Structure 1
Amino acid sequence: MSRQSERTVVEALLKEHPYALFVFSNKLRSQWHFINVKYDNTLEKRKLFRRITVGEGEQLRTATERISLLDLEKYSNASVLEIQTLHDEAFDVEAVTQEFFREYRKTFEKVEELIDWKTEKERKRLFTQKLFNRLMFIGFIQKKGWLKFQGSIDYLSALWEAYLNILGMLHELLDLRQCLFANKGLDANTVYQRKLDIIENNLYGVDIDIFAVNIVRLRLWLSLAVEYEGDNPPPLPNLKYKIEVGDSLIAPSPATTGV
């Protein structure tokens, strides 16, 4: 059921049940919505619909903490209005937001400390901020259901696993390009040209194992060669400075090496 459909049902039920907790699920009962309706302090008593989502791909820790506040065993003699107040507090957006930013700050500072660059602190902070902004944006559009990778709705986790297989990254970028240019017709005509452009401009990799590096280079060349149609294929791209041997965890920042 869509959110608008849920709202329509709740609006109808509120006429006879003005103080209630509304619960919806999908047919498979794998996704649940707990809905609280709070009335603001204006004369119109505008209704505020607040929702806690439980299901695959959701942050269950926060949902569990908030829903646990709805336990009424300790309030057996509470009135209807007191129970509604408890519900309103459980769905308090400000409290959830404050908790989020406390956890965000702790994680941000931890990641910032792990960046072992011999450079000024401000540059490390700006880099960490840019990284977190991008991850949060991807997380948002993933939650909206706009991003899927290899059938998984947990786009970031699936993409991280595919990082071990750089071909997964190549094919994901190829699919994204095809979606972006499907209506404009501005992209290269052949899959070969698209793959070549991605390999030359978008893919980079570092591994401490030289054997793994050589295997990745070979797999990229094979993935490209299989798409070529014709009798006179051009030279394969030089991957020496694209897929390199190194330690991505403790290596210095490129900014300090002059690269």
Structure 2
Amino acid sequence: MDREQAKELVVKTFEGPFNENKFINFISNLLKRYDREKVLKPRIGIQGITERFLDFISSWERIGRYEDADKKIIDILIVKLKRGTSLYRARLAQRNFVASYLQGKLGTTSEKDAALVAFVDSDENDWRFSFVKMEYRFEKTPSGKVKVKEEFTPAKRWSFLVGPYEKSHTAQSRFVPILEDDNWRPNLSDLERAFDVEVVTKEFFEEYRTLFISTKLELDKIVINNKKVKEEFETKRINTVDFAKKLLGQIVFLYFLQKKGWFGVP
């Protein structure tokens, strides 16, 4: 798959309402191959979901299982949320639901290392593509003994909010390199890095810093070469540093409003 095809696949999968066939196609290209015999049909009700999560989850299913080169088990799940339970609410419950599944307390008795999960809102427009991983750390007990304690990655940190009202630029930057390499079967660490939005945040601020510096330098040139602008800046005690900060801040705010669709334009 070439780069443009990979980008198109991400756009078709993540910039529209949830579509199970498109999601499965994306997973197939991302992982290259996985065990489709490990399908679990949709589970509903108190026996399939347990009373603890009935207020938040309407159904869940497993579309397959992936085993990486290090023998790590990663299951692929689709979790449908109940009407009135938005993706912005009950994130802790959603994460704990998958945590119970990974521990073998829900659906199956076997433990898994991680899960790729599509959390889908009731109208299927808003959905979240998440990565939940089981982690361990050593903890000393009051008696001095060392025991292993299970931990789970926070759902917020390891998720992409997708759907027709969201753009997929970040998802493209994280998944296209894996998709375009037909021989790259990602291991658990690769998937973790792909979902690590801290890397994206760092890149954003580095680029923002570069833009701020270039904006400030251009403003310096204008102030030096334009007498009226220079007088205006001096009279109102404006400096190019503060002006550049305010200008870029306003642009980012307008972008946020446009991204939310509050301007009535795409």
TM-score (norm 1): 0.43
Q: Give the structure, 1 or 2, with the largest relative contact order (CA under 8 Å, sep 6 or more).
A: 2
> Which structure's residues are more often helix, by fraction?
1
Question: If the length of structure 2 is used for normalisation, what is the TM-score?
Answer: 0.42
Higher strand share: 2
